A and B are shown apart, each in its own frame.
Chain A
């Protein structure tokens, strides 16, 4: 007998021997026999429902960052970026400030030197002015000097004006 034919025969034989009445479910009977199981299911379902409600209520009280972890991550990354950028900018600005301070000091020194030089120039000019004025004065005086003897001669008498031998001569 060929294998396939034998398999078919066996298959048919098993099917024939298994021909039995199908078990008929009776849910009402089961309900009557197992009231505790049904009660348990209902109680557990009720408990689960109340627990879920409680969880949902709690969720609304949670901070936004705990409720949305992705948002928390995004905020964290943004904060980190902001801090890093701030540090970099601060560092660059601090260096610029140092450079500017140095430049300011140099400028102040230059100004001080320039002011001193200006004063010296003024002093020199004033000195020269004074010298030239004095020079003119001296010249004037020198021109006047030869005229004085005649004037003396005109104003003063021939006799001495004061004689020590004669205290009452005045």
Chain B
């Protein structure tokens, strides 16, 4: 079977991962630490795609693992651990985003993200990514920030590979258009 994840740790087969999840379900913290190490980076980037804040994303990832630890015994399909964890992480990130928005509106005026005097193409790309709809932003961040393959994304997001490719293609076009609107089209 293909490698399911090299998500920050060593490669792990689905079967291996299922066994690890099962032993974690039996209360083995060593197994849980392996899962934590393998999925931590992915969770951080997934939360970042929602929150657009690295520090908050790290908190969200940690909180997601805490929730997963609470609910792990109830997981019926250990082979789907990755996508199950992704759902938890997304929910935690959305809750944190809501809380953050509420705090921003109450306490201070909204701040435009990634706003600076730096006009480098990289900065523009980051802004373009931040302006993408969340569905595209998530896939771009997982692909470019977390360096996941199509197969890994297929398993992790629990969607077909064709859909992954389609979304990524659409996201790239949107980024290209954004850059073009900023005067960056790759001709220079």
Contact = CB atoms under 8 A, between A and B. Distances in A.
Contacts of A22: 8, 41
A41 B61 contact: no
Contacts of A30: 36, 62, 65-66
A18 interface: yes
**Which size class do B's interface residues fall under?**
35 or more
B41 A25 contact: yes
A49 B26 CA distance: 8
A2 to B, nearest CB: 10
Interface stretch (A32-40, A85-93, A128-136): A32-40
A11 B169 CA distance: 11
B47 to A, nearest CB: 10
Chain A interface residue number, banded: 20 to 34
A147 B125 CA distance: 176
A37 B36 CA distance: 13
A30 B9 CA distance: 17
B125 A14 contact: yes
Given A25-B37, A41-B27, A34 B172 contact: no
Given A23-B58, A25-B8, A48-B73, A17 B126 contact: yes
Classify the interface of chain A: helix, strand, loop or mixed: helix
B127 to A, nearest CB: 10
Contact of A41 (B69, B121, B123, B145): B69
A5 B187 CA distance: 10
Interface in A1-60: 1, 5-7, 9-11, 13-18, 20, 22-23, 25, 27, 30-31, 33-34, 36-38, 40-42, 44-46, 48-49
23 contacts: A1-B185, A1-B186, A6-B176, A7-B172, A10-B176, A13-B186, A16-B122, A17-B121, A17-B125, A18-B141, A20-B145, A25-B8, A25-B41, A27-B36, A33-B62, A34-B66, A41-B32, A41-B69, A41-B72, A44-B27, A44-B73, A45-B27, A48-B25
Interface of A: 1, 5-7, 9-11, 13-18, 20, 22-23, 25, 27, 30-31, 33-34, 36-38, 40-42, 44-46, 48-49
